[in-house]
Structure 1
Amino acid sequence: MRALVIDDSRTMRRIIVGVLTALGFETVEAADGRQALDVLEQGIEVDLACIDWNMPVMNGLEFVVAVRERKDWRGVTLMMVTTESEHGQIVRALAAGAHEYMIKPFTPDAVKEKLQLLGLVEIEELV
């Protein structure tokens, strides 16, 4: 599995990459939505994109809309990972095509649970 981590904060990208790597993902990074589209346009296939909302050049919502307009990218699971916690923003992102929404700050366990719900990480059985 490969994930594209999109956030203008290098520190936040490193945190998310660390969590995803621990869960077995390969990762690719982008500092804004435009760079992320460039990654996809290069033919780099990803299973998951973790997207910040507030970024320069192209924000996260614009990225979600752009991805959903392309048939060849419809298989990419989109998860917003942002400080935007207003209910209306969450609704806008999900209506635009995001599969899931996670509010910063988050824990590694919260990321794992979201990815389990999305079917991208196996659910561990309790012994």
Structure 2
Amino acid sequence: MQRHRIVWQTAAGLCGLFLALSSPARADAIDGRWCAEDGRRMDIQGPTVITPHGSTLQGRYGRHDFAYAVPAGEPGAGQAITMRLNGETTINLWRGETTGTPEVWKRCTPVG
């Protein structure tokens, strides 16, 4: 009787571990769609960014950070944009120097 209980407890524990490891987890990476409080949006996928004004360009990608220069034709052209992941759902974004107060962007919530 005791042996059966130990077998079942072990099996249940292994099933729980398997389910925990196989369930989808949000990646701890800067990749994804980001939203500013004022409605601006930005998409980061690896070294590619779609800026809030719709330009697609390559930037300097790190798993937890991203940087690019604002392209010609957009407000602030030539200005450095630097972002750092701050938890799974927030990035801090600086324009120019990274010593001031950053803009806070959040992961966009799915529509619908």
TM-score by length of structure 1 reads 0.26
**Structure with more of its chain in helix, by fraction:** 1
Flag the structure with higher strand content.
2
Larger RCO (CA under 8 A, 6+ residues apart): 1
Give the TM-score of the pair, scaled to structure 2.
Answer: 0.28
Rg larger in structure: 2
